[in-house]
Amino acid sequence: MDKFKTVLSIAANKQTNLGLVALLTAAGEQIFSTAVFRCPCNDWNFFYGMVFLLVPALALLVLGYILSKKTWKLFTGLCVHKSKLSKLCRVKTCIAVMIMFLQITTTAVVAPFSWIAVALLNGNYFECAFTGVNVTVFKDHLCGSTLSQSKCQDELYKFPCPGKSTVPYKDDVLATLRAESQIAGWLVIASIIVSNLILTCVARCKSPISYLQLKFWRAYAQEENALLESYSAKHAKELAERNLKSFFQQTPPAPIISPSNQDWRQISRFYRFNPNDHYYSIMHQYVECDKREADNRHSPDHGMGSIILHSIQSDGPSPDNPAVLSFLDEAKMPL
């Protein structure tokens, strides 16, 4: 169980090299291909092959969304906040949510595309699937003119299974399919690498922060996230021990200070970059100034309109942050 938690923590940590995620996905595909996959060699070929090619990729995509802190930071309480906003603000919030969801997707698609790329390079799923397609489309391409359509269909089903077909050019057909599969796999890999390079270059080119400050910012974010988890666990343990001790000993509880709901809400916001400020996280901003603002919002002359306006400006997702700061809201979070 501890090893499983370690794997989940690696997958959930945005700072981990995405190449490691791709490597783990490739290893998983190899295990599936050799130990689980068995082409049926009948009219189920196409469906069976496409399921093994695409369904695990879909599962990895969903898992990528689940393990992203941004996903839960984005959707937690979203419906409650939207119900308090005007129609115009709801439209702006929906646009910001869609932009943020696309940002989450750029990270979540790494594992699915890695699965598809490795599966195509392997060729087993592709061979099985495309020997079960409608033969009228691929008859000339795979069977030539020596076999009838019905005979070609029957023989194609058997090609992926050794010993089931006696057609002399079976190996040539399988070699053609494997070559096409590997070409598609390399094209997927090339597109991933080129897209990642372009996005990284554009993000760095538009960065308002210098290279060394960005390195410091990443180091600070890692330390803050690690300490936040440590402090949260320690405080939760102290509070639980205090409550249980009071219950079992039937004594008044010892005084202990815990953050209020408003305090938790403040530090759960998305970070918004402001070149005029020097805050390295939402926690940093809260400690420096938002605590005072939160106290002011509890004053009697502070109306609901100001609260809703602050929710739009601070609590909601921000689509205008520099792309190089996306790591601030992608820290590891236990589910």
In contact, 179 and 210? CB cutoff 8 Å: no
At 7-38, the pLDDT tens digits run: 444 444 444 456 677 777 777 777 777 778 88
- 175: confidence class by pLDDT, cuts 50, 70, 90: confident
pLDDT of residue 14: 44
Q: Which two tokens stand for residue 30?
A: 């190899």
Same domain assignment for residues 228 and 109: no
User: Considering the domain boundaries, does residue 334 fall inside one?
Assistant: no
Residue the block writes with tokens 């939760």:
236
142 and 271 belong to one structural domain: no
Residue 151 shares a structural domain with residue 245: no
What single-letter DSSP state applies at residue 271?
P
pLDDT tens, 195-215? Answer: 889 988 998 998 888 999 999
Distance CA 283, CA 309 (A): 21
Looking at 205, 237, 263, the residue that finishes a domain is: 205
CA distance 187 to 197: 15
In a domain, 217, yes or no: yes
SS (H, E, C) 80-101: HHHCCCCHHHHHHHHHHHHHHH
Q: Which position has the token pair 């210098």?
A: 210
Measured between alpha carbons, how far is 300 from 285 in angstroms, rounded to an integer? 24
Quote the number of domains for the chain: 2
pLDDT tens-digit readout, 268-277 = 888 888 888 8
Three-class SS state of 286: helix
The domain in which residue 86 lies consists of 2-205
Distance (Å, whole) CA 84 – CA 87: 10
Residue, of 26 and 122, whose pLDDT is higher: 122
